[in-house]
Amino acid sequence: MGRYAALVQRLGHQRWFAAFGRSITPLDRFLQRHTRGKLTTAGWHPLPYLLITTTGRKSGEPRTQPLLYARDGGDYIVVGSNWGQAHHPAWTGNLLADADAVVSVGGKAEPVRAVLADGADREHLLEVLARVWPAYRTYQRRAAGRELRVFRLHPRDA
């Protein structure tokens, strides 16, 4: 990993960085939606990210969220860190209500089925994720006692 990526990973532990990340998320969603994933605020960092589109559990409407991810075998691994806030991000509740979603990486969409990880698998996946974004450990400490939700996203037939 290059120096720039290492710097971004170190900054991820800072509260101001998390606040900045929360503030640009709506802009990121807008850019990616309107450029079909070709333009994003995530382009300023060298870390792997995807767009996940879930079905809103209350609205029934599609909801898209940019997320960092890791791979474990053929699965995408994501975590509902919400930048270390005390509440779960809405997209995790959407996946709990309807496990079918779509991920887009580099503009290529793929249908997936989400499984909430627990036990030893969850711990393993947190280690895999922490290699991509070490700040997830910091976010867990900040999350006011809530357990961060970790999901395996299994590719499925369209």
Residue-by-residue DSSP string for 5-46: HHHHHHHTTSHHHHHHHHHHHHHHHHHHHHTTTS--GGGGS-
Q: What is the pLDDT of residue 138?
A: 84
pLDDT tens profile 90-116: 999 999 999 999 999 887 999 999 999
100-105 and 108-116 strand pairing: antiparallel
Q: What is the pLDDT of residue 83?
A: 74
> Which stretch of DSSP H or E encloses residue 152?
strand 149-155
Q: What is the pLDDT of residue 110?
A: 96
- Write down the H helix ranges in the chain: 3-11, 15-34, 90-97, 119-132, 135-142
Q: What is the pLDDT of residue 17?
A: 60
Q: What is the pLDDT of residue 4?
A: 53
**Contact (CB, 8 A) for 81 and 42:** no
Q: For the chain, what are the domain ranges? A: 3-155
132-135: which pairs have CB atoms within 8 A and are 24 or more residues apart? 132/47, 132/48, 132/68, 132/69, 132/70, 133/9, 133/12, 133/47, 133/68, 134/9, 134/12, 134/13, 135/9, 135/12, 135/13, 135/17, 135/18
> Which stretch of DSSP H or E encloses residue 104?
strand 100-105
Q: What is the pLDDT of residue 147?
A: 92
Which CATH architecture fits 3-155? Roll (2.30)
**Contact (CB, 8 A) for 103 and 68:** no
- Six-digit token pair at 146? 């809530």
Residue ranges of the chain with per-residue pLDDT less than 50: none
**At residue 46, what are phi and psi to the nearest 5 degrees?**
-90, 20
